[in-house]
Homo-oligomer: A and B are copies of this chain.
Amino acid sequence: MGGRREEILEVALAIADERGLDGVSMRAVAERVGVTPMALYRHVGGKAELLDAMVGHLLAALLPPDRDRQETQRWDERLAALARAVRTMVRRHPWAAPLLFSRPAVTPDAVRTVDVIYDALIEAGVPDREVPRLERLLSTFVIGFAASEVSGRFTSGDPDPRGHRGSLPEGDFPAHARLKPWLRLPDDLATEFEADLDDVLRLIEAAAGRR
């Protein structure tokens, strides 16, 4: 077992972690495997399929292997644990962030993850009709937060960048002026993530209450 395909996948993951997504070229992977670029096409269809397989590999490691542990936690604890696992995964492998937005969850591992979320939402009392929508709302937020964090979207919303012609005219942004004491982004976003998660889980509770 093992085989060339697994070797190619592991090499691609290693390069992505070291040099980012742009570092993952068919030529770079081939060189590390010790083979000509063309030899890869026997085992992986093409670059798009390779990237899909890389994301699939991360998603497969998202759920704990033991199914029993799930029963011992409340629905909101299970969802929070999964959300934290996604954030940790993206922080560890920032190259995965853009890819998570581009492909639907169709691999068995991805569907299993969605099934776990569905199960928690049902246990929360969300009406069946609303479960898929709230799963998409939750996962959109979690992936979006993690992607924003690692890509730098959250850094420096303060209208005083090092940029261009001095700082921006502060008078034009009254709300920014008023909020000045609160505009500095915390170094670690874990606390903000927890607060957001709490709010979103309350949102789910409220939706369950309307059933």
Number of interface residues of A (CB under 8 A): 64
Q: How many copies does the complex hold?
A: 2
Q: Most chain-B CB neighbours within 10 Å: which of A131, A144, A172? A: A144
A135 neighbours in B (Cβ, 8 Å) = 157
Query: Which of B97, B137, B168, B178 is in CB contact (< 8 Å) with A141?
Result: B137
Q: Most chain-B CB neighbours within 10 Å: which of A128, A129, A132, A163? A: A132
A:107-165 near B, CB below 8 Å: 108, 111-112, 114-116, 118-119, 122, 128-129, 131-133, 135-137, 140-141, 143-145, 147-148, 151-157, 159, 161, 163
A1 neighbours in B (Cβ, 8 Å) = none
- A-B pairs with beta carbons under 8 Å apart, 28 shown: A98-B98, A101-B101, A101-B148, A101-B151, A102-B151, A103-B152, A104-B152, A104-B154, A105-B153, A106-B156, A106-B163, A111-B168, A112-B172, A114-B176, A116-B175, A119-B174, A129-B182, A131-B179, A131-B182, A132-B183, A135-B157, A136-B148, A137-B141, A137-B196, A140-B144, A140-B148, A141-B144, A199-B206
